[in-house]
Amino acid sequence: MDEITVHVETEITPTEDEGKVKTAVANLFGAIATETEATLVGSMLTAEAQGREPLENFRNVLRRDRVRDAARRIFYAGSREKSIIFFLNKQVAFAGHVSFSQETGESPLGPIKVVIEYENPRELVVWLTT
């Protein structure tokens, strides 16, 4: 499973603390390197990592929060040919927990978008949720 690529992105609104948004991402994906770029309305935080390591912490949080069944449904629904796309609540991530979100309208600060690229998404879903 070393051919995994994890992409994370989230908007940072002018009312948010960039450090807290970075903490939210780190709480779920560990020490993933992030970059911030200015936008017209604030900034965009992005991160990309290779391999299974960034998903180890996320997998443990899914297990600890006892949301593996819900996660499995979300992951299968977001599966494409070679990727999985899903959204997480930023505020809950800051608290170190997982709450799945919709792309728009559900979270006032916007979600964290996660795209995981892997040759066999079904295999990855099984690994993440067991």
Q: Where are the chain's structural domains?
A: 5-128
CATH architecture of 5-128: 2-Layer Sandwich (3.30)
- Give the separation between CA 60 and CA 42, rounded to whole angstroms: 32
Mean of pLDDT values over 27-44: 90
Question: Which of 54, 68, 39 has its CA nearest to residue 2?
Answer: 54
What's the whole-model pTM score? 0.90
Mean of pLDDT values over 76-101: 94
- Would you place residue 1 in the very low, low, confident or very high pLDDT band (cuts 50, 70, 90)? low
- Give the separation between CA 124 and CA 105, rounded to whole angstroms: 28
Q: How high is the mean pLDDT of the chain?
A: 91
Residues 21, 45: contact at Cβ < 8 Å? yes
Mean of pLDDT values over 103-120: 84
Q: Please, which residues have CB within 8 angstroms of residue 12's CB and are 6 or more apart in sequence?
A: 18, 21, 36, 42, 43, 44, 45
* pLDDT tens track for 44-87: 999 999 988 889 999 999 999 999 999 999 999 999 999 999 99
pLDDT of residue 96: 93
Q: In what order do the strands lie in the sheet with 83-89?
A: 34-39, 42-50, 5-12, 111-117, 83-89, 100-101
pLDDT of residue 2: 60
What percentage of the chain has pLDDT greater than the value 90? 76
Alpha helical stretches, state H, the chain: 18-29, 53-64, 68-77, 90-94, 121-128
Q: Please, which residues have CB within 8 angstroms of residue 98's CB and are 6 or more apart in sequence?
A: 28, 58, 61, 62, 65, 67, 71, 88, 92
pLDDT of residue 112: 94
